[in-house]
Amino acid sequence: MTQEVFKLKQGSIPLLISMPHLGTGLPDDIRAMLNPVGHEVDDTDWHLDRLYDFAVGMGASMLRPTYSRYVIDLNRPADGKSLYPGQNTTGLCPLTTFDNVPLYLDGKEPDAAETARRLPLYWQPYHDALRAELDRIKAQHGYALLWEAHSIRSVIPHLFEGELPVFNFGSVDGASCAPGTAEALLALAQKMSPELPAVLNGRFKGGFITRNYGKPEQNVYAIQLELGQRSYMEEQRPYALDETLSARLKPTLEQLIRTFVAFKPS
């Protein structure tokens, strides 16, 4: 079943790009529990594989899940502990959309036993692959770089006030990467795309993957980038990619990735 849960493209440079919220699949048994809202998988990180397609040509490894975050959220800890205590967020097996709309038919919400059933089927294989690929990269190059690729609608009142910046860099307040790395990426985004607001360690400081795997003391360096979706796509159904906007954004993304790859641990 592992091959159905994720797709891994192994590369030749010290970079792994992880896209844990790209998947849209719903297993039949879980689809039957979801209501029509759940079937829409609205809170997907749409089109990131197309937005980052240049990175494969650079030699980056790329890890993508098959299934939707509505099945289980790969960027949450297995124990379900909140990453942002005191703030609205969604859990390990989300019960609602980002707009706080229920996902499940009445009485079909996953309980503790159902969550425990999903962990080894959908969550663990992705994390095993992520860890193994970072270990492979580190064995080959002496260090590994992890880029956590995410995107989100720009206005979600239930989760944050106002309009989210386009570039939301997260380094867990500097804990997941070497000093100055995230600051250099922020400055680069501001220089190359001055019309697109950028922030470091704002509303999104880095999810579970960035926090758990970004360990500079172990020569693994992680950055999360949460993109405001208005910068490259339509933010309402059918969530179409905007070819003009994405073509304008991609040179900045590519330079950000090249700058990150150019990093060498001291």
What DSSP assignment string belongs to the chain? Answer: -HHHHEEEE--SSSEEEE-TT---B--HHHHTTB-HHHHT-TT--TTHHHHTHHHHHHT-EEEEESB-TTT--TTS-TT---SSTTS----SS-SB-TTS-B-B-TT----HHHHHHHIIIIIHHHHHHHHHHHHHHHHHHSSEEEEEEEEE-S--TTTSSSPPPSEEEE-TTTTSS-TTHHHHHHHHHHHH-TTS-EEESSS----HHHHHH-BGGGTEEEEEEEEEGGGTB-SSTT--B-HHHHHHHHHHHHHHHHHHHT----
Q: Which of the four pLDDT bands, split at 50, 70 and 90, describes residue 88? A: confident
Averaged pLDDT for residues 207-231:
98
pLDDT digits (tens, 9 = 90+) for 170-182: 999 999 999 999 9
Q: What's the whole-number mean pLDDT along residues 44-49?
A: 98
What is the pTM assigned to this prediction? Answer: 0.96
The per-residue pLDDT of the chain, averaged, comes to 96
Percent of the chain residues past pLDDT 70, beyond the cut: 99
Domain boundaries, the chain: 2-24+44-69+128-261
- Tell whether the model's pLDDT for residue 2 goes beyond 60: no
CATH topology of domain 2-24+44-69+128-261: Aminopeptidase (3.40.630)
Mean pLDDT of all residues in 174-200 = 98
